[in-house]
Amino acid sequence: MPENTSSAALTPCAQHPLNFFFPIEARSGQPTAGERAALRVCATCPIADRRECLERELRLPAYRQYGVVGCTTASQRRSIIRSRKAASKAEVA
């Protein structure tokens, strides 16, 4: 979700309570109904805002990933973080 700025008030997520984006996380790998609803709201946000949300969230460690942010679930972001770490290690080698 965008930082608390005047432009953030115009984003689709600003029209929902914060807990809407933190539903029970899926254990099966498939998004839950709550996650799917939050993903639908994220999908209506301008792409630049989605990328900003996602990149800001990806700066957090994998164990701190919760909820739907940047049109991704926590498990999807943890996977992105793992992939980026593996790619970074491969570059060093």
The string of pLDDT tens digits covering residues 26-53 is: 777 789 999 999 999 999 999 888 999 9
Answer whether residue 1 is part of any domain.
Answer: no
Quote the pTM value: 0.81
**Per-position b or e across 48-70, b if 16+ CB within 10 A of its CB:** ebbebbbeebbeeeeeebebbbb
Number of domains in the chain: 1
Answer whether residue 74 is part of any domain.
Answer: yes
Answer whether residue 13 is part of any domain.
Answer: yes
Answer whether residue 77 is part of any domain.
Answer: yes
Answer whether residue 3 is part of any domain.
Answer: no
Note down the domain range covering 85.
Answer: 8-22+30-92
The predicted structure's pLDDT at residue 89: 85
| CA atoms of 13 and 44, how far apart (whole Å) | 9
